[in-house]
């Protein structure tokens, strides 16, 4: 008797999981449609210790700058140091 009850409960559990799985990915009635993600900006900045590294993902070009304080006001032409492109030799 116990084996038969366990088998029925197991089968009911499998069937209910299958039914729930069919409806899991569908949006609900009042939910707005999913919009495509907006593309990221043209540059990515990463803080590394006292430096900031900026990467252009389209070309792979990298630049770095020492950031000591927000009051830093040096020449923009010499403040950023080019690290080159790691994909080009």
Encode pLDDT of 28-85 as tens digits: 778 787 788 777 778 888 888 888 899 988 888 998 888 776 666 666 666 788 888 8
Predicted local distance difference test score (pLDDT) of residue 36: 81
Q: Note the pLDDT of residue 41.
A: 76
Contacts of 48 (CB under 8 A, 6+ apart): 64
The pLDDT, as a whole number, for residue 88 is: 66
Instruction: Judge contact between 77 and 57, C-beta under 8 A.
Output: no
Phi, psi (deg, nearest 5) at residue 74: -110, 175
Percent helix, strand, coil in the chain (nearest 5)? Answer: 30, 20, 50
Q: For residue 72, what pLDDT is reported?
A: 62
Separation of alpha carbons 51 and 7, rounded Å: 63
Task: Put the strands of the sheet holding 81-84 in their side by side order.
Answer: 44-48, 51-55, 62-66, 81-84
- pLDDT tens string 26-36: 777 787 877 88
Token representation of residue 13:
């559990």
Q: Where are the domains of the chain?
A: 44-84
């Amino acid at each position: 008797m116990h084996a038969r009850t366990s088998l029925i409960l197991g089968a009911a559990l499998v069937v209910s999981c299958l039914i729930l799985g069919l409806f899991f990915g569908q949006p609900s009635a009042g939910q707005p449609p999913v919009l495509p993600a907006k593309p990221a900006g043209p540059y990515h900045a990463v803080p590394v210790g006292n430096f900031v590294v900026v990467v252009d993902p389209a070309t792979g070009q990298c630049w770095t700058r020492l950031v000591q304080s927000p009051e830093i006001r040096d020449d923009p032409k010499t403040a950023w140091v080019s690290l080159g492109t790691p994909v080009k030799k």
